[in-house]
Homo-oligomer: A and B are copies of this chain.
Amino acid sequence: MSKRATIAEVADLAGVHKATVSRALNPGTAHYVNAATAKKVQRAAKQLGYIPNIMARGLRTSLSMTIGVIVPDLENPIFPPIMRGIENYLSPRGYTALLANTDGRESLERAAFDSLLQRRVDGFVMATGLTEHPLLADAYARGIPAVMLNRGAVGVPYPLVTGADGAGISAAVNHLVGLGHRDLLHVAGPGNFTTSLARSDAFTAACATHRSVKHRVVTAQALSVAAGESTMDTILANGQAYPTAIVAGNDLLAIGILHSLREHGLDCPRDVSVIGFNDMPFAEDIQPPLTTVHVPHRELGAEAARLLLNAIQEGKQEPLTVTLPVSLIVRGSTAKPKSR
């Protein structure tokens, strides 16, 4: 292993005390030291390739300049853009993101949380939003800075950054009704996600706006392709009448629904229209091109990072909610209902 230069070596080379080196190299304290001395120190530091040891510094300052990001599943395509947004905001400011996957399992979440805490992250961006969350309540009580992303949690006054779920869903419903659909189904995500609840409430409310629009809601087991497929399977298996249009809780569910429709010999959009939620990458390339609600994930991530850094620097948490606008993207998975 290469031995790295320490502050003491820089101090020796520059002929000053290591305290002076420290002050010269830190923007916050640089004004204490004479310009000529500072120059000398910087030259010495460069010559030795000095990189401050962040662990020694962190030990002293108890700041790690890293923030923990907890996501349920990085393979869900909405998270990479979110990560990007977070990183893009963080890295110019000297912060780094530590990523942890939880697989949606609470035990792993606990472990990830502890592991990040052990690494003394300065704060968290939590994108796991289970409705109930002892972990978060605990964290809040201990004064750990955090921001919720996308999904919130009840009773935990952390700031929340989210897309306008309600507006997106009602745009979807209005689009379908405008096309002539009168029999709508919402395949919702599991009830323990706050977003699922918000979206299904919005669905019901939006449908109620229109007279004579039949609507119902079924709940999938998870926010995944497989769950969407099996949920739709059971609906179609009954042989009973199926809706002419479906609003899915997210894009993955929508894709699962498309699978199921295809296996049952139904065509989208001819027989059934489907709308997703999120506008995940490549949503335009799937078969059929998915009509969906676009959520600005990158901006979501950046905004969450911004709020978190604010909270860390101010040393206080403000329970505010930032809602970013969403927009309906009409593509090929929705059409007028065929007469039947």
In the complex, A340 has a CB within 8 A of chain B: no
From 92 to 115 in chain A, residues with beta carbon under 8 angstroms from any chain B beta carbon are: 96-101, 111, 114-115
In the complex, A22 has a CB within 8 A of chain B: no
Chain A residues bordering chain B, tally (CB within 8 A): 50
Q: Give CA–CA (A285, B81) in the complex, Å.
A: 20
CB nearest to A108 among chain B residues: B91
* A75-B81, A287-B285 known; A51-B2 Cβ under 8 A: no
In the complex, A162 has a CB within 8 A of chain B: no
Q: Quick one: which of A87, A281, A285, A288 has the most chain B CB within 10 A?
A: A285
Q: Give CA–CA (A74, B83) in the complex, Å.
A: 8
Q: Mark A40-82, 1 if CB is under 8 A from B, else 0.
A: 0000000000011111101100101010000000110101110
Which residue of the partner chain, among B83, B98, B117, B282, contacts A98 with CB atoms under 8 Å?
B98
Q: Give CA–CA (A117, B117) in the complex, Å.
A: 21
From 254 to 295 in chain A, residues with beta carbon under 8 angstroms from any chain B beta carbon are: 255, 258, 281-282, 285-289
In the complex, A118 has a CB within 8 A of chain B: yes
In the complex, A211 has a CB within 8 A of chain B: no
| Contact call A120/B74, Cβ cutoff below 8 A | no
| Contact call B59/A56, Cβ cutoff below 8 A | yes
Q: Which residues of B contact A53 (CB under 8 A)?
A: 59, 118, 120
Q: Quick one: which of A96, A111, A286 has the most chain B CB within 10 A?
A: A96
- List the interface of chain A (C-beta within 8 A of B): 1-2, 51-56, 58-59, 62, 64, 66, 74-75, 77, 79-81, 83-84, 87, 91, 96-101, 111, 114-120, 142-144, 255, 258, 281-282, 285-289, 315
